[in-house]
Amino acid sequence: MFTNITRTTLCITAFSIASLMAAPLNATKTESLDWNWKFARFGKMPDGSTQPEPGKAMGFATATSEESGNPADNAVDGDKSTRWCAASGKSGEKITVDMGRPVDVKTVNILWEKQSNHLFKLEGSGDGKRWATIEDKTSGQNDSKEDTVENKTGKPRYFRITVTGNNQSNWASIREITFKNDKGEIIRPQAAAGTSKADNPSSPSFNDKNWRSLNLPHDWGVEGPFRMEIENRTGKLPWVGIGWYRKTLEIPADAKGNQFYLDFDGVMSRPKIYVNGHLAGEWKYGYSSFRVDITPFLKFGQQNTIAVRVDNPPSTSRWYPGGGIYRHVWLTESNPVHIEHWGVFVKTPEITKSAAKVEVDTTVKNTTDKAVIPTVTEEILDGGKIVASTTTKGEEIPAGEKGKITSTLTLKNPTLWTLNAPHLYKMKTTVRMGDKVIDQKFTNFGVRTVEWKPTGFYLNGERVQLKGVCQHHDLGPLGSAAHTRGYERQIEILKEFGVNSIRTSHNPPAPEVLDLCDKMGILVIDELFDVWQCSKEGVNNESFNEWHERDVVNLCHRDRNHPCVIAWSSGNEVPEQGMKNLHHISQTLTDLFHREDPTRKVTSGCNNANAARNGFGDTLDVYGYNYKPWAYKDFAKDRPHQPFYGAETASCVSSRGEYFFPVDWNKGKGFYLYQVSSYDLYAPGWANRPDVEFAAQEDNPNSAGEYVWTGFDYIGEPTPYNLDATNALNVPEGPEREKLMAELKKLGDRAPSRSSYFGIVDLCGFKKDRFYIYQAHWRPDLKMAHILPHWNWPERKGQVTPVHVYTSGDEAELFLNGKSQGVRKKGTGEKDRYRLVWEDVKYTPGTLKVVAKKDGKIWATDTVTTTGKPAALTLKPDRNEIKGDGYDLSYVTVAVRDAQGRMVPRSKNQLTFKVSGPADIAGICNGDPTDFTTMANPENKKIMKIKAFNGLAQVILRSRKGESGKVTLQVISNGLKPAQTTVTVK
């Protein structure tokens, strides 16, 4: 059976695992490994309890207390990026290690989390009851990062460290305890008597029959439940914890001699990959794609067990990261000599109207024990037709090494990759040994020039204003699990209001995102890190120093052929901006990016007002300003040779369909009952309404453009309702506020919001009012007008209810029930440059109508009408036909309507969905940042419930693999006429 997922770098569509045939292969084969895994969670569980991890590799340490996510076992796990930390700063915390048997330990090395005055006592024991002192450093000064102690007490089985002299700024925290014999060899704890390898989930003999069966991609966190006591900056979802995934597969006996790899698009986080009980590889950063060579561990002609351990500790993300194998997994089979993973790099250094010079670097990997001399043929395909080709003989590649073969082609009369016509070519790379083809790959690429100049950004020699948004990686109700259709729909919605660029904030995206941007004409700033060496807001990147180079290499090699990628971003708002002694980190990252890809510039998002002048800006090719529109003018004057842009702008906040009165233009107002008014006037202290950034961009034409925070709402970071008890001040004084203050105090002062308010569209992808101010500004030739607010205000009869209009016209007249409310023209002031405002309209039920004009002629109209009460439901799928591949989606919009068919804007009716046929409910949502309904419930794929939020809700259908037929979706609500729709699965 053929897989429906394709990769631009593959020559051949993947076959089933069982059909992987003996060497020699004509080309590398890649098969999806997404199907039929077994899964179980351990550690911190969704309900807040703790489930012991079976056969834990180093389950031999105990402590008097443990900070959540930093257990005692971390101190003996062999990983210096993890740690044990006590639960408080009190003196006398103990950690005890059971070696499993008496051991002849010569030295004990203690690696502390940080250099400080560490006072401690180390003791040894044969039975865990009677203790002998090995070293006593409980007095004096011991300002160290690590301590090495010599053992002279014989052969203890148990070792105990008592940490003293601690306080609230110096907790007991140990990264690693290492035991060595007199030869300097590491002695590790062993399983206690009565345990066996079969107790460990990495073992082929482990019994997983009671584990859950599932398919990938999988995000365990979004399955919920939401819990009030979980911090809301990461979405109040249970993403913290440990997960194990297991799968068996058979590799044919006659495939022995070939190379086999597991390719992971992303695992959140710290995955360790075991094959038949052996650790085959690992990675630290949850957003990186990586490869593991499993060849040495395979049993050919037999069943092989793949086990993946995933560890999501707390304090590793400022937003909702998801958890698990949340992107695709692939099994790759290659000849012993083959094209390296991501080993084809296509460059177009010279482009004219008549010809393009195309350079191709192909890296060939030789895993044999003999030197080889490969020959590489490069062919450019345009719609299947060969339009250029060349053959190059490589240099000798020694045994066990890699070699690069560079080829040059001339492409005549090239069709350029542009935003409006994103034309893609394919490079067909064929590697031969003598006359035999040993590998072949296809690589998509585009012919285009990218230039960052002090006067802006240029694509193919023409200046393009970047109309960008920042995008987090989650897909709302689907969580972080990768879904190609989910990404495609997001891009469709973004393009509708004028977006031409995305900043992947603050991490590498799924590979499918860049494939779609290539095809749909979207420019991308490809970002790598949110945190470098220094922690930020309590979030650490403990593996940065050891792993950052590997992360840069993998990102560049994976993404460098995408024409959509216009720059690499090394980081975002890192504390190192203000630390001159650490600016070298930024320079190191820039140099690494340039080394791996000399064709693109490097940027970073900078929120430190001094970073442009304190030397940090000199480490970047392109300067990215976060929330500093007032700084553009001086930057252009003071640094005339450096390009710049708004890397993160606006951060206006709003809730779809919520409006609060009186309307105040103070950006710090408009917050009420954990929602934000949708007049689009409100923002946190560091941020601004859209109008302010529009003006700064237009008044400073040297700016290359902006990236709004954010295109879509996302899970987590519910500013302005973070972990702040003062949120209760948004409730009027009296019993209601007192009750809320008491509730917050009980919950540790944690507010209930669980997703962001920043989005131009909400978590479902439903348009907020803000969608239309961007559409009016970014698509000036589109005839459009939009009125806000809705006109259902029975409690406001006779009261002033301001009306705002967004239009691409230059003036408009507003009518209420046919009576003119006056004409407004766009001007140069704060209130009329990008919106038209009628501040004195008094509410009367009926119809608002606006007639917009441009150059004196009618341009566009819009109407808003007072509706009746909820009477019926409607269902509207975005696609009536989807593929039966187990991945494809249909997004169905549910609307609550009155008897005349008009959406009732303030309705919040309870809805029940029921689906039958070859599809399941993959997720439900309503766009309400305070709704705690589980959005993706694996135990309820056929029936789910949620309330409408201001007239709308959403259900997402996902096809079942290999099935076809008609899917019927029904929705019911008490007192309303039900609705039904069908989707065909093919």
Annotated active-site positions, please?
Answer: 573, 648
Tell me the two tokens of residue 692: 């302010």
Amino acid at 499: V
369: left (phi over 0), alpha (psi -120 to 50) or beta: alpha
What does the buried/exposed string (b/e) look like for 944-977 if buried means 16 or more CB atoms within 10 Å of the residue's CB? bebebbbbbbbbbbbbbbeeeeebebbbbbeebe
Q: How far is Cα 523 from Cα 964, in angstroms, rounded to an integer?
A: 36
**DSSP result, 83-149:** -EE-SS--TTEEEEEE-SS-----EEEEEEEEEEE-EEEEEEESSSSS-EEEEEE-SS--EEEEEEE
**DSSP result, 810-867:** SEEEEEETTEEEEEEE--SSTTTSS-EEETTPBP-SSEEEEEEEETTEEEEEEEEE--
Taking CA atoms, 7 is separated from 29, 443, 515, 883, in Å, by 11, 9, 9, 18
What is the strand order of the sheet 425-433 is part of? 385-393, 375-382, 425-433, 436-445
Q: How far is Cα 70 from Cα 316, in angstroms, rounded to an integer?
A: 12
Task: Fill in the DSSP letter of residue 324.
Answer: B
Q: ∠ at Cα 160 (156, 161), nearest 5°?
A: 140
Can you tell me which residue has the tokens 């489930």? 51
Task: Fill in the DSSP letter of residue 46.
Answer: T
Helices (H), 338-496: 484-496
Tell me the two tokens of residue 864: 């808003």
Can you tell me which residue has the tokens 């990102």? 555
User: What is the separation of C-alpha 293 from the centre of its chain, rounded to a whole number of angstroms?
Assistant: 26
Which residues, 6 or more positions from 746, have their beta carbon under 8 angstroms from its beta carbon?
A: none
Is there a contact between 472 and 491 (Cβ–Cβ < 8 Å)? no
HSE, side-chain direction, 13 A CA sphere, residue 355: 6
Query: Can you tell me whether residue 472 is helix, strand or coil?
Result: coil
Identify which of 878, 903, 884, 881 has the alpha carbon closest to the alpha carbon of residue 956.
Answer: 878
Residue 237, burial from CB neighbour count under 10 angstroms (0-12, 13-18, 19+): buried
Tell me the two tokens of residue 121: 């006592």
Q: What pairing do the DSSP bridges indicate for beta strands 501-504 and 466-471?
A: parallel
Identify which of 758, 881, 891 has the alpha carbon closest to the alpha carbon of residue 487.
Answer: 891
Query: Can you tell me whether residue 693 is helix, strand or coil?
Result: helix
Q: How many residues does the chain have?
A: 986
Amino acid at 48: G
Which residues, 6 or more positions from 623, have their beta carbon under 8 angstroms from its beta carbon?
A: 603, 606, 612, 617, 635, 639, 642, 643, 644, 645
Q: How far is Cα 510 from Cα 487, in angstroms, rounded to an integer?
A: 9
Can you tell me which residue has the tokens 């702040």? 724
User: What is the separation of C-alpha 104 from the centre of its chain, rounded to a whole number of angstroms?
Assistant: 47
Tell me the two tokens of residue 644: 């710049």
Q: How far is Cα 221 from Cα 218, in angstroms, rounded to an integer?
A: 9
